[in-house]
Structure 1
Amino acid sequence: MFSKFLVKTFIKDNENFKTNSKVRDKFGFLGGIVGIIVNLILFSIKFVVGIFSNSLAVTADAFNNLSDVFSSVVTIIGFKLAAKPADDDHPYGHGRIEYISALIVSVLVLLVGFSFVKSSISRIIHPVTIKFQWIPTLLILISISFKLWLSKFNGYLAKLINSSALKASSVDALSDCFTSGTVVISLILSQWISFPLDGTMGLIVAIFILYSGFQLSKETLNTLLGEKPSSELVKNIESEVLSYPNILGVHDLLIHSYGPNKCLASIHAEVPSTLSLVEVHNIIDKAENEISRKFNVHLVIHMDPINLDQKEISITKDILSDVLKSFPCVTEMTDLRLVGSGDDKNVLFNITTDDTLSKKYKSEIDLINDINKEIKLKNINFSTVITINKNK
């Protein structure tokens, strides 16, 4: 409830974040400012407690919060730069800078983790007596509640505007809850245990920090390298294109992300070859505009004229059926379509395979290549687009 209150209070036009990059920028700025305030408060509390109790684990946790302050600053800068409009050098905008800022945050987390691994090992070798006090311990417990709220707040913003940078901040804040909890355990048990628990718990804290940084780095790098689009978006675009009249099928959907809410997509739409170019253009043009607005993508649809000549389809089907007899792992052929006519045509079809596929072929591509080789042996000059389905 308080998260929604903050959004409504400081972002008046908060419902327009999908279409207005400036509004989205305000969400990132709000998340960064709140993170800075909360982490500065927590750093001050934990640093004083660490000095007062002579606990390296507490001091390590304090400087982890200080690094989160810098992370929040990086997040704000990342949002500002990502919101810059497209220019000659970057025709698709600067949206990926937000991913880079998330990567910087994860690197900062890793640096803090490595630093305190070294300090914790030194404290294990050369232990120091910890002074336990209830008040400092209670202050750390209160700081955990702050971090839990901050994690939920950043998670709420991240989900709302689909932000990897804010998601990184959310995960980082949640991991801090676990590390602070470990510190509290160290302080309480130090009353009865002479074992160098402070250094050991400090090492556990550092490992948590390193794990968090690694996970954030991995996720952000996957996004920068071009991870596959969500299955939900793929399904939605395909089904929406198929909903338009005279579009009989779709294939070769490609989606490229140039930052949050900045996707470029292309797809092949199969239409009857008997339609006029004007009719096809009107259908495709309408579909591109409406679907682009609905899913906030820039969609380009390529038209493939489908040959509906039943005689030619039947002949092609017989040829393919004969070819597929040489492949025992193929159990069924479906959805045969022809694009073009005569020898100059593309043949699109689906095949279903059984479990023996993996025993003979290293990949599905190898099977498709072998099928195409067999087709060429028939002296048939057409190209294929083969989709493989596996038996469930």
Structure 2
Amino acid sequence: MIHFLTQRFIENYGDYKNQKVRQAYGTLCSILSIICNIVLVIFKITIGLIVHSVAIQADGLNNLSDVGSNLASLFGFKLANKHPDKDHPYGHGRYEYIAGMVIAFLILVVGIQSLKESVVKIFNPEKVMFSFVAVVILIFSILVKLWMYYFNNQIGKKIDSSSLKAAGQDSLNDVVTTFATLVSLILTLITDLPVDGIIGTIVSLIVIFAGINVFKDTINPLLGLAPDKALIDDIENFIMSYDKPLGIHDLMMHDYGPGRMFMTLHVEVDCQEDVMKIHEEIDDIERAIQEKYHIHTTIHYDPVDVHNPRLLALKQQVLEIVKGIDEHYSIHDFRMVPGKNHTNLIFDVLIPANDQISHQILKNKISAEVKQISDEYHCVIEIDHAFV
């Protein structure tokens, strides 16, 4: 079914990195989801009112919030594909994340409202009338939501869309809540307990927690989520496969929406190499990363001396000192500058992003241990936090 629909409605459907193709996928998924959810809302609200079931009505309201979510996703894809302008030179891709936040907000609003009504029904229950029609509609709803989960999740993975993945997860949550509603309707046949209000409360809590999770998933990229480690490792291995690079550091990646990634990094190269040849290869690497990973990349190259035995021996000694403090620490940009009274050892120490150690204490500790090698050495240290 997915293959048929994408072939029928999306031109160049296999080009997932193309922004127009991504928008076409997002539009198709959103419109199909809107149609399915509207049908479910009409059936569930109507049956819920007929049989006096707050759980079924809560489930219907949840589907109504899904319509709002799908509309937000639809407009999010449309706005995200706007061409960059002078006020937004990096494009408008983050509209897709904002759409995800709107989805999360709507889910939370409906969940809280349903929770309020369900708790009232526990203490002031109404007789729920069992209906085979309601059972059929709820089973039909479960099947529709399973299909919507599969459709949105598969497309979300293909085009790397957080809003479609969120819509897919929301559909899977709806399967759970609708199944719970079905159970509550069946239980009314064998008990006089306020199961409708109890199940409605459980359903509402599931909806609320789902909304919180969707909110977390969409706000993280806006706050600056660390890039995927597997992607970074692959990019670093790709760069190191070229002739000139000797090492990589200070890699930073900025996310301005799906398909709008920007990356900067430093590449260490031999200081005795021809600078024009180095520059040519760096340009080749930047273009290759754009073609392979669709990431706009800027590389700064650092010339390092790999032919000075004293420098290399000192670098290894300092690295062992730093690793002795914490095995997760590393050094880069190591230079030795001789002077009249002392020799400056200039280098950066890279520590994990979540490391809370005082920079001055760390500098003092490293300097003190380097002094034990020789009083001649004076450390000039810069502390860097990892961005990946």
Is 1:324 aligned with 2:321? yes
Q: Is the 8 A contact 2:11 2:21 kept in 1?
A: no
Q: Is the 8 A contact 2:100 2:162 kept in 1?
A: yes
Q: Percent identity?
A: 32
C-alpha offsets along residues 195-244 of structure 1, whole Å, 9 cap, x if unaligned?
Answer: 11111111111001001000000111111101100001111111111111
Q: Distance in 2 between matches of 1:103 and 1:137?
A: 33
TM-score (norm 1): 0.88
Aligned residues: 377
Q: Secondary structure at the match of 1:269?
A: strand
TM-score (norm 2): 0.89
* Structure 2 residue aligned with 1:175: 173
Q: Distance in 2 between matches of 1:124 and 1:277?
A: 77
Q: Which of 150, 153, 156 is 2:151 aligned to? A: 153
Q: Secondary structure at the match of 1:309?
A: coil
* Structure 2 residue aligned with 1:65: 63
- 1:1-392 matches, within 5 Å, as 2-18=1-17, 20-314=18-312, 316-317=314-315, 320=318, 324=321, 329=325, 338-339=334-335, 342=338, 346-347=346-347, 363=357, 368-374=362-368, 378=375, 379-383=377-381
The amino acid of 1:15's aligned partner reads G
1:347 is displaced (CA, Å) by 3.6
Q: Is the 8 A contact 1:324 1:330 kept in 2?
A: no
Quick check: 330-339 or 40-49, which moved more?
330-339
Q: 1:303 to 1:44 in 2, by over 3 A?
A: same
Q: Is the 8 A contact 2:346 2:379 kept in 1?
A: no
Q: Distance in 1 between matches of 2:384 and 2:120?
A: 61
C-alpha offsets along residues 248-295 of structure 1, whole Å, 9 cap, x if unaligned?
Answer: 111111111000111110111111000122111111111111112110
1:371 is displaced (CA, Å) by 3.9
Q: 1:271 to 1:338 in 2, by over 3 A?
A: same
1:297 is displaced (CA, Å) by 0.2
Quick check: 341-350 or 256-265, which moved more?
341-350
Q: Is the 8 A contact 1:313 1:337 kept in 2?
A: no
Q: Distance in 2 between matches of 1:211 and 1:52?
A: 29
Q: Secondary structure at the match of 2:117?
A: helix
User: Which structure 2 residue ranges, 5 or more long, are not aligned?
Assistant: none
1:6 is displaced (CA, Å) by 1.2
Q: Distance in 2 between matches of 1:91 and 1:362?
A: 35
The root-mean-square deviation of aligned C-alpha atoms, in Å, is 2.9
Q: Distance in 1 between matches of 2:316 and 2:35?
A: 71
1:134 is displaced (CA, Å) by 1.8
* Structure 2 residue aligned with 1:354: none
1:308 is displaced (CA, Å) by 1.6
Q: Secondary structure at the match of 1:298?
A: strand
